[in-house]
Amino acid sequence: MSVGSKIRYIRNLRKLTQKELGLKVGFSIATADVRIRQYESEKMVPKADILSKIADALEVDAAALNGVDYQSEKELMHTLFDLERDFGLRLEKRGSKYMLCFDPNSEIEPYMDYALSSWYKARETMLNPFEENADGDLEYHLWTQRFPIDLVKEETTRKERTERLVSGRCNEIKTQGYKIEKVNELILLFEKMIKSGIKLEIRSDKKRSAVGRIVACVSVCHSQFLSLHSNMDNADGTNEIAADTAAAYAEYLCAIEYLTGAGIKIEQASREKAKRYAAKKKALQQRQAEDERKKRTHRLCQIGGAVESVLGRPIDENELPKLIAFLQRQERNGKYFSKAMQSENVTDPVTFSWEN
């Protein structure tokens, strides 16, 4: 959908008229409906600041208004190729069906796993395939356009709950004089974490291992603790599994702090992964900026062609200041140029000259 089509789609979901939306954005009473109509009909493209205001007025994430207007299946396929190259999208065949998933080793996979899980949960809870539910459908479609606003709110709530649970347990453990004296104690801690629902990745490090010595690496993804609380609420607000998880995680944090204080180096690979992901994101943004530059250049060529078609001759470079001065005079004398651009229909041909 194009930007204009998305604005119209979400405005209709919100049951707003063009004038109501225009007023919420901050346009004057006289131009509120005209401006929104121009954007929706794609006679004008809203600038970034205006697009942000429209998103706020519609109570959706600004990314929901980024227009990607696919004109053919080929364009859609090339988008999938881009996702494969930039974000680790992977094509798999299961039986007679083809499935799309993200490479588990890609930096974006943990986020996508969490986001897609939230998407699936929204579909399951808001849409009923066995009966028509207009309210549920509306709620779901608004959720998709607000994404990730609602998800961020849920994450914030879960993070606060996790911090409260874990910080209390950490203080209790530290007051008891926590320390680690044997390797076996670490193994028992990892076993406790796994039993509480925490996912660990344990693997051997071949580069550091040697004859008679095996070096094992244990990886913990800290973002998983947000999802561990998603379905653990009882009616009284308590849950034994959540408490066990918090206790195991708190002990793990205390163990890391104790070992670090004892001079043992704890490697953190997440920072390097974040840097690589940021570099990929920057490269993608640069490509998007280049695409926008090409679109703007094309648009400027179209504008120049339109002016030359009216004059019936090419424009010389030294005539550009005259054209700019002419348009500025039109604006000073009554905003004739702006009014002409806002009118939907032009019934009479317009002839102009900027010759002195």
Rounded to two decimals, the pTM is: 0.55
Q: Using one digit for the tens of pLDDT, what is the confidence trace for 49-103?
A: 999 999 999 999 988 998 777 778 898 899 899 989 888 899 999 899 999 988 8
- How do the domains of the chain map onto residue ranges? 3-65, 108-146, 149-267, 281-342
Q: Using one digit for the tens of pLDDT, what is the confidence trace for 295-309?
A: 778 778 878 888 888
Q: Which 3-state string (H, E, C) describes the chain?
A: CCHHHHHHHHHHHCCCCHHHHHHHHCCCCCCHHHHHHHHHCCCCCCCHHHHHHHHHHHCCCHHHHCCCCCCCHHHHHHHHHHHHHHHCEEEEEECCEEEEEECCCCCCHHHHHHHHHHHHHHHHHHCCCCCCCHHHHHHHHHHHHHCCHHHHHHHHHHHHHHHHHHHHHHHHHHHCCCCCCCHHHHHHHHHHHHHCCCCEEEEECCCCCECCECCEEEEECCCHHHHCCCCCCCCCCCCHHHHHHHHHHHHHHHHHHHHHHCCCCCCCCHHHHHHHHHHHHHHHHHHHHHHHHHHHHHHHHHHHHHHHHHHCCCCCHHHHHHHHHHHHHHHHCCCHHHHHHHCCCCCCCCCCCCCC
CATH number of 3-65: 1.10.260.40
Residues of the chain with pLDDT under 70: 129-136, 209-212, 214, 223, 225-242, 267-278, 281, 341-356
